[in-house]
Amino acid sequence: MENTPTRLTEWSEGSGCGCKIAPAILDQILNSSGSFSQSDPKLLVGNSGKDDAAVYQVSEDLAVINTVDFFTPIVDDPFDFGRIAAANALSDVYAMGGKPIFANAILSWPVEKLVPELAAKVMEGAKSICKTAGIELAGGHSIAAKDPIFGLSVNGVVHPHKIKKNQGAKAGDVIYLTKPLGVGVLATALKRQKISDQDYLSLLDTACRLNSIGEILGNHEEVHAMTDVTGFGLLGHLIEMCEGSRVSAEIDLHKLPMIAGVQEYINQFIFPDNTYRNWNAYSAKTKGVVGMDLVKLCDPQTSGGLLIAVKGGNQLWFEETMKQQGQVIWEIGKFTEKGEFVVEVNS
């Protein structure tokens, strides 16, 4: 027991969605295993479009959604870890325009080294978020293994006509984001024991907030496309949207919302290593990024906000509708005709 790490984040290399396999490697695995080959016509959304969840039609007016998401600890407090992991997993159902109905837990725990009470706290945190989402944590699967890992497989429903994919954005659509960026930076500050109490609360406030507005957005045909921003950072998920939709995008750096306090950590070079992994994957497709601005664009988010393409000319209506729902949003740019670069950043 002597060398057993005492803080949950010491058990993980990357943390939260930052431990996702890099896009190019995932592509290699899925391609060579034939995992993109799907032929069931009832599978309305499979994995070929790199969407947030799978969607399967069960009747004319009903489709089920399923998604699975798990990761190593992003924070030290087990209850908060459970909450963040649950909010993050639920997000992929909301990002499809769906309504979650129940979830199962995925738990890996080094039972010889971390007391079961800590795992119980993780579960309690997840249950509290499921309760907020109005769903039951119905069951799960648990293994004893070297690393603590937690997540959920979430089931949801959606009307087949209301599914929102990450493809479907059109030139002229306005780009909105529903949460500020910087979760990866704050999680790294926490891991290095540099985070202030106030900034930890900001991290929780952002990462535990549900993207439930997605279910409402499913009702609006002016919303052309939607995804959530997670491990590949704003830039990665925006590029996925653009490539799936065969358009480009222009974003304004000064419009990007950042969680309060994040810039100070960036100034001290506190940010996840995977920020560079993301930048290496996307830099050739991007124009206009200067110096350390890449950190804001590529910071791996865990339980990040929704990235939404709204039909051009509908900004007033959209912003008013979101205000009525009590949903904060930021307009960050627009989709354009497909150009030489996938994303152009105006600084």
Ligand X SMILES: Nc1ncnc2c1ncn2[C@@H]1O[C@H](COP(=O)(O)OP(=O)(O)OP(=O)(O)O)[C@@H](O)[C@H]1O
Burial (CB < 10 A; 0-12, 13-18, 19+), residue 103, is buried
| The entry of ligand X, Mg ion, none that residue 191 binds, CB within 5 to 8 Å by partner kind | none
Please give the Cα distance from 22 to 19 (Å, whole number): 9
Q: How far is the CB of 43 from ligand X (least distance, A)?
A: 11
Report the residue number, 63 or 65, with the smaller CB distance to Mg ion.
65
Report the residue number, 48 or 268, with the smaller CB distance to ligand X.
48
Q: How far is the CB of 244 from Mg ion (least distance, A)?
A: 13
The single residue of 17, 130, 208, 242 carrying the catalytic annotation is: 17
Q: Is 140 annotated as a binding residue?
A: yes
Q: How far is the CB of 26 from ligand X (least distance, A)?
A: 6
Q: Is 298 among the catalytic positions?
A: no
Contacts for 300 with CB less than 8 Å, ≥ 6 apart: 14, 16, 17, 18, 20, 183, 184, 230, 231, 232, 233, 272, 274, 275, 278
Residue ranges that bind Mg ion, judged by CB under 5 A? 52, 92, 228
| The entry of ligand X, Mg ion, none that residue 301 binds, CB within 5 to 8 Å by partner kind | none
Q: Is 141 annotated as a binding residue?
A: yes
Report the residue number, 241 or 261, with the smaller CB distance to ligand X.
241
Residue ranges that bind ligand X, judged by CB under 6 A? 17, 20, 26, 30, 35, 47, 50-52, 67, 69, 92, 228, 230-231
Separation in Å, CA 339 to CA 248, 252, 285, 318: 6, 17, 10, 27
Q: Is 69 annotated as a binding residue?
A: yes
Q: Is 142 annotated as a binding residue?
A: yes
Here the tokens at position 59 are 């009747």
Do 122 and 150 meet the contact criterion of CB atoms below 8 Å apart? yes
Q: Is 37 annotated as a binding residue?
A: no
Q: Is 50 annotated as a binding residue?
A: yes
Do 98 and 157 meet the contact criterion of CB atoms below 8 Å apart? yes
Do 85 and 17 meet the contact criterion of CB atoms below 8 Å apart? no
Here the tokens at position 99 are 């309504």
DSSP string, 220-283: -TTEEEEEE--TTHHHHHHHHHHHHHT-EEEEEGGG--B-TTHHHHHHTT-S-THHHHHHHHHG
* Residue 175, φ and ψ in degrees, nearest 5: -100, 125
Report the residue number, 54 or 261, with the smaller CB distance to ligand X.
54
Report the residue number, 229 or 297, with the smaller CB distance to Mg ion.
229
| The entry of Mg ion, ligand X, none that residue 231 binds, CB within 5 to 8 Å by partner kind | ligand X
Residues tagged in the binding site annotation? 20, 49-52, 69, 92, 140-142, 228
Residues tagged in the binding site annotation for ATP? 20, 49-51, 69, 92, 140-142
- Return the active site residues: 17
Residues tagged in the binding site annotation for Mg(2+)? 52, 92, 228
